[in-house]
Amino acid sequence: MPSRLPAPKPVSGRLPVWSNGPVIDVRTITDEEIPAYVAAMRTGFAGHADEEAIEVARPSIDPDRTLAAFDGRQVVGTARAFASDMTIPGDRTIPVAGVTNVTVLPTHRRRGLLTEMMRQQLDDVVARGEPLAVLIAAEAPIYGRFGYGAAVWRATLRVDSRAAAFAHPVPARTLEMVDLPTMRTVAPSVFEASRAGRPGALARSEGMWDRRCGVRAAAEELAELRKRFHVLARDDAGTIDGYMSYDHRGEWDGMRPNGTLVVRELCAASPDAAAALWHHALTMDWCVRVEADDRPVDDGLPWLLRDQRQVVTTDVTDFVWVRVLDVPAALSARGYGSTDRLVIEVDDRFRPDLGGRVVLDASPVGATCEPTTEAPDLTLDAAHLGAIYLGGTPLSRIAAAGRVREHTPGAVARADRLFLHSPAPWCSTWF
């Protein structure tokens, strides 16, 4: 096997990968290169791209924010970013770069292409002034070395609906079955209202809504979307404050129904709407169980039922990873659970220029954060700052693994009181 060169400094986007191999160009793409980019990206995710798939993807691709690794004329690596915003603690939002489409062809793995694409991408995000980059990791070990930390977790729930009696009367709501075009019209405003107090919720662009509602979708996607049912919840004033999309997997055990209702999305802007929609799901004829992916880890469903044990969490896994790129701006932007002053040292091995010491003066009503030369109260990796940023991961849990250096006794516990947030971070949007 050829010997691998030491990690080179990027020069004009050209990366010498192997000592006796080719020179790989890592650069942004042109409009004309979008088809090759999409084809390579789909191959990297073990899929195929036809003309339809390319045209469906095209509107979401900004060539100025889309990187590809070229081996000659062949695209062998891909990475893309888009501008968005995310809810953070304190009922606020912050600009983020949504990172997606990150792949390397199987023929070009372990050559440093991903590292170079990540380096160039983070350079661009920093230059654009976006304090955070966020992504969904296909594999957990990949992104920690680039300073990303798992900040949002997702749960999969399973309920035996035959035994899921509600503990209290269900709030009054008028429910209405609607089609996809109606969902495209009404769902965005409900979603926006629902994400206001939930850290980790990512804004959905018009293009995202078009894709979710079948306005712009490949035939295979559209076929799946058309299998779904959609129901709206209206309050006494007629205001839509919740919706649910679900599939019905019909099965029979002889002449006895044994179906499963699969919740694809349940979005509620009020607890009453959530209760009414869950009741609708759990009392569906011909269904004996309900399954729901992509739920928050602190979902209130168990507390709606007389027997909480009927709600079984079958899986909890990381979902959205956060990379803090502007520490003072990011820490100044969010709200906090206590009043304190903490000097934090961030060890950023991938981008040392983004690390260093900051002093955080924080309270529930606001915060300031700026560079300092004061002695630190604690030292943590950039990835661990990303993990705690949205308030769902206690720093004490990371410290228990020996990954935090506490210089001032009690500093980790103080950081927990500052950073932890309820409700837990949740993102229901795949990107």
**Any catalytic annotation for residue 37?**
no
DSSP 8-state symbol, 6: P
Based on the residue annotation, tell me whether 431 is a catalytic residue of this protein: yes
Annotated binding site for acetyl-CoA: 102-104, 110-115
Rounded-to-integer distance, Cα 320 and Cα 98, Å: 10
How big is the chain, counted in residues? 431
Number of CB atoms found within 10 A of residue 121's CB: 23
Task: Please give the pLDDT value at position 13.
Answer: 53
* Interstrand relation of 66-71 and 23-28 (parallel, antiparallel or unpaired): antiparallel
Q: What is the 3-state secondary structure (H, E, C) of 196-256?
A: CCCCCCECCCHHHHHHHCCCCCCHHHHHHHCCCEEEEEECCCCCEEEEEEEEEECCEECCE
Catalytic residue among 143, 148, 191, 319: 143
pLDDT of amino acid 5: 29
Tokens of 299: 């979902």
The answer to pTM > 0.75 is yes
Distance CA 384, CA 390 (A): 11
Cα 271-188-47 angle, rounded to 5 deg: 110
Question: What pLDDT shows up at residue 23?
Answer: 84
Q: Any idea what DSSP says for residue 374? A: S
The catalytic position among 82, 246, 389, 431 is 431
Task: Show the low-confidence residues of the chain (pLDDT under 70).
Answer: 1-22
Q: Determine the pLDDT at residue 53.
A: 93
Phi-psi region of 326 (alpha: psi -120 to 50; beta: other; left: phi over 0): beta
Q: What is the pLDDT of residue 97?
A: 99
Q: Which amino acid is at 386?
A: G
Q: Is 378 helix (H, G, I), strand (E, B) or coil?
A: strand
Residue 175, strand partner residues: 233
Q: Which domains does the chain have, with CATH numbers?
A: 14-147 (3.40.630.30), 155-316 (3.40.630.30), 326-419 (3.30.1050.10)
**By CB neighbour count within 10 A (0-12 exposed, 13-18 middle, 19+ buried), where does 410 fall?**
exposed
Query: Residue ranges for the binding site?
Result: 102-104, 110-115
